[in-house]
Chain A
């Protein structure tokens, strides 16, 4: 049922009891559906969106474009696995277009990220080239706009 997934995608903190009420279903049924989705790997996890710029954490992120030589029999999967196993890699996508893999990296400093690319990614034998783009500002991520906290400005009219 896509409605349940959509609700959870928008707000992962809602309890099964709350969702059951929203959908007019039994709490036990919703729990079971969520467990099934987890077993089947449809629901993979649940995280929190944090604006690190508003904290004292040193934080920088970058998009790395990689051109790859695909391997016979494995395509891009093997090299992808080698890359995504690094905890520094936040996300990894196989892309259409002028490069092959898009890697999102998180690090403390630009220097740290640059060294990671040079020493870990560029060094992989299947990697033909890398191109690093640092994120200067996040405006919106996972559907959430960064910046001011919304205030209810609606006038009191019946």
Chain B
């Protein structure tokens, strides 16, 4: 059979994640110290796991309502109010999803129609462009700059907007750069958007992982709640990646449309995960604090360690990545990372994996122990001396 005639062309044209090949190489190599992984190295705190287990023991193995249990939606609503001073009605404005990823997918599918343009901030997590293309939309990339601390600026946004622009994807705190947008930064963006019909998809999955300042949600700015969809989840804040649990918060008119897609595509998020998540949101603040402090120590350790061996690195203030500038070493980011891995046994992610603008950079995850990071830094230092 000629599957090329059978398969959806849009799907066929989506490029597989370029990093796959590199990860396969990492898997095959022995004695490689990896700093590539983008998920917490902590295990989900025991009291949260125990709540999930207890739900199974009690036989709570049914579907929940499509939008998630009311108890969890109320907990999420309370969390938004408490942490980010933005109010959402748990009955109509919150949907529990299968990870933050499904939340992003639902938001795009509800808003984007063929021909629409979506402004996507780069470098960023790799899913936005492909998911936008699947809706028939056209991603318009804005390459943020190191000299702007990888923040989106109002001028860049203005230049990217056309009369076809439907959505802005705002992924802060940012993977891979570790950049954050403060209330002041966001207010300049809000000024560009107010009075337009452009929706913001604010991916706040790393919202609990900021260092030295609290995260601000753009939805909490004057006039922005009505034009914002927040996608977030439990994975990074509570080290719950494998539970696949995220959520959406959006104005009721949009939430009700996203809910239809969710209802037909996945029905509801896993029930045991929802029970665990209630425990996380109710009694998990201390866990977040403990993990954030640990990440912060590793962040300082990694960034100062890189600078000490002569690698320039922008100061990351969120997520758990450093994004050093490796352009002065005279290799492309692919070459740099491949040589580093093959010759010195350290795996880091070439910036090119996050779009063209990632050339000259690499992403180093600090979701690893200090001991692990320390060994990797020693090897990176040796490698750099050969260049």
Contacts from A to B (Cβ < 8 Å):
3, 7, 11, 14, 18, 21-24, 152, 154, 156-158
Decide: A24 near B37, CB < 8 A? Known: A18-B370, A158-B19, A158-B125. no
Kindly count the residue-residue contacts between A and B in the assembled complex, taking CB atoms under 8 Å apart.
44
Smallest CB gap from A3: residue in B: B293
Decide: A24 near B293, CB < 8 A? Known: A154-B37, A158-B125. no
Asked if residues B370 and A22 are in contact (CB atoms below 8 Å), the reply is yes
Q: Among A3, A24, A152, A158, which residue has its beta carbon within 8 angstroms of that of B304?
A: A24
Complex A-B: 17 CB contacts under 8 Å: A11-B371, A21-B304, A21-B305, A22-B297, A22-B301, A23-B297, A24-B300, A152-B34, A152-B41, A154-B37, A156-B23, A157-B37, A158-B38, A158-B126, A158-B175, A158-B349, A158-B354
A158–B23 alpha-carbon span in the complex (Å): 10
User: Residue-by-residue, is B112-150 near A (CB-CB < 8 Å gives 1, otherwise 0)?
Assistant: 000000000000011000000000000000000000000
User: Does B26 make an interface contact (CB < 8 A)?
Assistant: yes
Asked if residues B301 and A154 are in contact (CB atoms below 8 Å), the reply is no
Q: Quick one: which of B330-357 are within 8 Å of A by CB?
A: 349, 353-354
6 shortest interchain CB distances as A-B pairs? A22-B297, A156-B23, A21-B301, A22-B301, A24-B300, A21-B304
Asked if residues B300 and A23 are in contact (CB atoms below 8 Å), the reply is yes
A24–B38 alpha-carbon span in the complex (Å): 24
A23–B41 alpha-carbon span in the complex (Å): 20
Decide: A156 near B41, CB < 8 A? Known: A3-B293, A22-B300, A24-B300. no
User: Does B17 make an interface contact (CB < 8 A)?
Assistant: yes
User: Residue-by-residue, is B187-230 near A (CB-CB < 8 Å gives 1, otherwise 0)?
Assistant: 00000000000000000000000000000000000000000000
Which residues of the partner chain B approach A158 to less than 8 Å between Cβ atoms? 17, 19, 38, 125-126, 175, 349, 353-354
Which residues of the partner chain B approach A156 to less than 8 Å between Cβ atoms? 23, 26-27, 36-37
Asked if residues A157 and B38 are in contact (CB atoms below 8 Å), the reply is yes
User: Could you tell me the dominant secondary structure of chain B's interface residues?
Assistant: helix
Q: Among A3, A18, A24, A152, which residue has its beta carbon within 8 angstroms of that of B374?
A: A18
User: Does B39 make an interface contact (CB < 8 A)?
Assistant: yes
User: Does B166 make an interface contact (CB < 8 A)?
Assistant: no
Asked if residues A157 and B304 are in contact (CB atoms below 8 Å), the reply is no
Which residues of the partner chain B approach A22 to less than 8 Å between Cβ atoms? 297-298, 300-301, 370
Q: Quick one: which of B15-30 are within 8 Å of A by CB?
A: 17, 19, 23, 26-27
Which residues of the partner chain B approach A152 to less than 8 Å between Cβ atoms? 34, 37, 41
Q: Quick one: which of B23-75 are within 8 Å of A by CB?
A: 23, 26-27, 34, 36-39, 41
A157–B20 alpha-carbon span in the complex (Å): 9
Which residues of the partner chain A approach B370 to less than 8 Å between Cβ atoms? 11, 14, 18, 22
A3–B41 alpha-carbon span in the complex (Å): 20
Measured CB to CB, the closest approach of chain A to B80, in angstroms, equals 27
Measured CB to CB, the closest approach of chain B to A142, in angstroms, equals 17
Measured CB to CB, the closest approach of chain B to A37, in angstroms, equals 18
Which residues of the partner chain A approach B304 to less than 8 Å between Cβ atoms? 21, 24
Which residues of the partner chain A approach B26 to less than 8 Å between Cβ atoms? 156
Asked if residues B300 and A21 are in contact (CB atoms below 8 Å), the reply is yes
Measured CB to CB, the closest approach of chain A to B64, in angstroms, equals 26
A18–B371 alpha-carbon span in the complex (Å): 9
Q: Among A14, A18, A154, which residue has its beta carbon within 8 angstroms of that of B41?
A: A154
A144–B293 alpha-carbon span in the complex (Å): 20
User: Residue-by-residue, is B281-311 near A (CB-CB < 8 Å gives 1, otherwise 0)?
Assistant: 0000000000001000110110011000000
Measured CB to CB, the closest approach of chain A to B221, in angstroms, equals 29
Which residues of the partner chain B approach A24 to less than 8 Å between Cβ atoms? 300, 304
Smallest CB gap from A7: residue in B: B297
Measured CB to CB, the closest approach of chain A to B74, in angstroms, equals 31
A87–B85 alpha-carbon span in the complex (Å): 59
A90–B37 alpha-carbon span in the complex (Å): 41
A7–B290 alpha-carbon span in the complex (Å): 12
Smallest CB gap from A10: residue in B: B294
